[in-house]
Structure 1
Amino acid sequence: MNKIGIIGGSALYEMKGMKILEKKKVSTPFGEPSDELVFGELGDKGVVFLPRHGRAHSISPSEINFRANIYALKVIGVDRVISVSAVGSLKEEIRPSDVLLVDQFVDRTNQGRPTTFFGDGIVAHVSMADPVCGELRQSILDNSRGTGAKVHERGIYLNMEGPAFSTRAESALYRSWGMDVIGMTNMQEARLAREAGMCYATIAMITDYDCWRTGKDAESVTIEMIIRTVAKNIDTAKKILSATIKHMPQKRSCVCGRALENAIFTPKEHVPQTTLDRLRPIIDGFI
C-alpha cells in the first residue's frame, strides 16, 4: 500500500500509537517544500506529514510552494492526501469547534499562485467537477463517528487570497453566494493533487465566524481567536485522523489515479525533453 499524506500543523503527528521513523528533506524541480517530510507508521499504515506553513508557521498562504509540496509527496509514494485546515464559518449553524468535510471549492485568489504542474511546452486539462475524492471523504466521515465531534458532511470552501482577513462586505458577499467556510490554502492543493493522480480531502476545523455577524454577536476574526479554538480542535483532528488511517482500505477504488487519462493535449514528440523529465513521476503512463 502507498503512503497516506497529511498536510497540516506539526502537532498532528503526535497521535497515540504513531511511530515516527525519520524526517527527510525532499527537493523537487519546483523548489523546496514547506519543510522536511516526517515519516511515520500507525498500525500497518505508512504516513507522511508535511507542515503546510513550516514548523515555525513562517510561510504566508500566498508564499506556500504548493507545487513542491504535492510533488514531494507524490515522489515518495503518497497516493492519498488528507488536509487538516483551520477555517472560518459563513453560516450560523456551522459553529466554532465543529468539523466540516469539504466537497467543493471556489477560488477567489488573485491567480498569482502557480496552480498547475503543466505549461512549459505541455498542456493538460484535468476535470475538477468533483475536486474532492468521494471515497476518501466518505472514509473520513465514517471514521469521524464516535469521536464526539460535530461533523458537517459536506460544504463549499471559499479560497480567498489572504493573508488579511475579509472585509465585512466580502464576508456578506460570500454568504450570499451560498459559501459555507472560508480559508486560504486548499484549492491549490486540491488542483495539484488531482493532476498528480492523488486522492485529496479536507478536514475543515471551524475556528470562527469570519466577520459577517452583526449586532451583539459582531465579533470579527482575530489570530488570538483562531489559536484559542485550534488548541481545542487539535485533539478532535487527531482522533479523526487516527481512526481514518487505521481503517483505510489497502487499495483505492476511485478514479483519482486516472485523472490524466485523455487530459494531456500535447503530443509527446512536441514536448521539450526537460519538461518530460521534470513531470515524469506525474505523467508516466499517460503520454
Structure 2
Amino acid sequence: MAKKAIIGGTGVYDAQRLKNNEQQTMETPFGKTVYTLGEYGGDTVVFLPRHGEGHHLPPHQVPYRANLYALRELGVTEIYATAAVGSVHKNLPPGSLVVVDQFLDFTKSRPVTFFEDGNPVTHVDMTDPFCGRLRKKLAKSAAEQSLPIVYGGTYVCTEGPRFETSAEIRMFDRMGGDVVGMTAVPEVVLAKELGMCYASVAMVTNYCSGITGDVLTHQEVLDVMSENVHRIRDLFFHTLLAPDPDESCTCRTAAHAMNA
C-alpha cells in the first residue's frame, strides 16, 4: 500500500529517483487511470500524471474521479499536486511558486462529486480545502532548501481549454483571486470527499490576459515550466521525507452524510 502520492503534469516526474518503479493501470468505476509505483525513502510512492500518458488530455477531459478513486484504492492518504497557472498580479511574476490555500470555482461541465445517488445526501466541509497540515510541511521543506515560495493564495479554476479574457481576469482580481488554472477543481474536492489530505504548489508560468498587454502563447507556458519544474520536484521529494508537524487536520472527517 502507498501512503503518499504526487499528481502533476509532464516534467514533474523523475522516475529515476524511485527504486523499483513500475507503471501500472487500474480500471475504476469512473474509467481507467495510469500511474507509476516506486520506492523512495523506504516508502511506496504513487506518481499520477493528471493528463494521462504523454499529456494528451485537456483539463476539462481529465478523469478526475478515476484518478482520485485509484489513489484511494492504493491506500493513499496524502496527495501533493502541482499545476501551471497564470498570475493575476504583476508582483507575482513567472517562476513564482505558490502554496495555494483557497479556490474559486468557475468550471462548468465536469463531474464534481462522488456523491451523486443521494443515498445518503452528503456535504463536504471546504473551510480548509488545501490541507493546512501538508501546506505547513511544504513551507518548512522550502525553508530548509532556501527555496522562495508564496505561502497562501487563491486559485481560480476555469473550465478551459481556452485561456481567459482580460475582462474575466479583472473580475477574478476583484474577487480576490491570485492565480488562474484549469485543474484544481474538482481534484481537491474529490480528495476531500474521500478523506485524503491534498495540497498543491502552483507554478506561475505567465501573466494572465491583460496584465502586461502581451499575447499569451502555450509555448511560453512550456518554456517557463521547463526552466523551473526542477524546483517543484526537489520540493516534493524533500517533503516526502519530512516528519509530520504536530498539528492535525480535519480532512478525514470533512464529508458529512445527512440523516434521512
Query: What TM-score results when the alignment is normalised by the length of structure 2?
Result: 0.93
- Structure 2 CA distance for aligned equivalents of residues 198 and 230 of structure 1: 27
- Structure 2 CA distance for aligned equivalents of residues 197 and 42 of structure 1: 24
> Are residue 188 (structure 1) and residue 186 (structure 2) matched?
yes
Q: CA deviation at 1:42?
A: 1.4
- Structure 2 CA distance for aligned equivalents of residues 221 and 169 of structure 1: 15
Q: CA deviation at 1:78?
A: 0.5
Q: CA deviation at 1:139?
A: 0.3
Please give the root-mean-square deviation of Cα atoms over the aligned residues, in Å: 1.9
Deviation digits for residues 160-216 of structure 1 (CA, Å, limit 9, x no counterpart): 111000111111111122210000010211100000000011110110001122xxx
- Structure 2 CA distance for aligned equivalents of residues 149 and 247 of structure 1: 15
Deviation digits for residues 251-285 of structure 1 (CA, Å, limit 9, x no counterpart): 9932211223xx11255xxxxxxxxxxxxxxxxxx
Question: Residue 205 of structure 2 corresponds to which residue in structure 1?
Answer: 207
Q: CA deviation at 1:86?
A: 0.5
Question: Residue 214 of structure 2 corresponds to which residue in structure 1?
Answer: 219
Specify which structure has the higher proportion of strand. Answer: 2
SS of the equivalent of 2:185 reads helix
Question: Residue 137 of structure 2 corresponds to which residue in structure 1?
Answer: 139
- Structure 1 CA distance for aligned equivalents of residues 247 and 46 of structure 2: 18
Q: CA deviation at 1:45?
A: 2.5
What's the % identity of the aligned pairs? 37
Of the three residues 233, 237, 241, the one matched with 2:236 is: 241
Q: Which is further off, 121-130 or 198-207?
A: 121-130
> Are residue 26 (structure 1) and residue 26 (structure 2) matched?
yes
Q: What are the residue-to-residue correspondences of 1:161-172 with 2, within 5 Å?
A: 161-172=159-170
Question: Residue 264 of structure 1 corresponds to which residue in structure 2?
Answer: 257
- Structure 2 CA distance for aligned equivalents of residues 22 and 192 of structure 1: 26
Q: Which runs of 4+ in 1 moved over 6 A?
A: none
What are structure 1's unaligned runs of at least 5 residues?
268-287
Letter in 2 for 1:209: Y
Q: What are the residue-to-residue correspondences of 1:1-287 with 2, within 5 Å?
A: 2-14=2-14, 17-33=17-33, 36-110=34-108, 112-122=109-119, 123-213=121-211, 217-249=212-244, 253-260=248-255, 263-266=256-259
Structure 2 CA distance for partners of 1:37 and 1:187, relative to 1, 3 Å: same
What are structure 2's unaligned runs of at least 5 residues?
none
Structure 2 CA distance for partners of 1:44 and 1:125, relative to 1, 3 Å: same
Q: Which is further off, 242-251 or 144-153?
A: 242-251
- The 8 Å contact of residues 89 and 181 in structure 1, kept in 2 or not, is answered as yes
